[in-house]
Amino acid sequence: MLVAVLVAASWAAAGCGARRATVGDPERGRSLLAQYQCGGCHRIPGVAAARGTAGPTLERFADRQYIAGHVPHTRVSLERWIRDPQAVVADTPMPDLGVSPRDARDMAAYLRSGP
Ligand code: HEC
């Protein structure tokens, strides 16, 4: 029992399971997700009218291990995906919306903040 408590405490101290450190501006990202109309295809908590079902839900994306089922999820891979999904998975149906690197960084920051 004590061991379990100590293990849990050291995990928490190491940041495991906690929110990841934020790069980018998640609040700006939240408005960009609405502006680019990502919600036409995705469910995104906290983003107005984001209730689309053509794509998978982006709820709790911070906890997601993979993008598109098999690409390991990191901050960098997620930003790349948002900028140019076909560069990550050539035959993905997600469209290239011409997102700038800065906008992709901020949208990824919002999705990775755990909404
Ligand atoms: C026309 C519909 C459409 C739009 C608009 C769209 N997406 Fe997608 N998105 C998809 C589809 C379909 C997938 C699943 C792709 C796959 O598995 O290959 C996807 C997958 C994703 C994933 C990975 C989800 C997962 O569970 O693996 C993320 C993250 C994502 N989209 C973010 C965005 C963002 C951010 C925008 C706005 C800039 C956006 N999408 C706009 C259709 C869309």
| pLDDT at position 41 over 80 | yes
Q: How far is the CA of 15 from the centre of ligand 1 (A)?
A: 28
In degrees rounded to 5, what are phi and psi of residue 70?
-145, -10
Domain ranges of the chain: 27-111
CA separation for the pair 48, 98 (Å, rounded): 21
pTM confidence score: 0.86
90 contacts 73 by C-beta, under 8 angstroms: no
Domain 27-111 CATH (choose: 3.40.50.10880, 1.20.120.350, 2.60.40.420, 2.60.120.380)? 2.60.40.420
Position 15 confidence tier, pLDDT thresholds 50, 70, 90:
very low
Which two structure tokens, joined as six digits, stand for 73?
Answer: 């999820």
Q: How far is the CA of 81 from the centre of ligand 1 (A)?
A: 9
Q: Kindly report the number of other CB atoms within 10 A of residue 28's CB atom.
A: 16
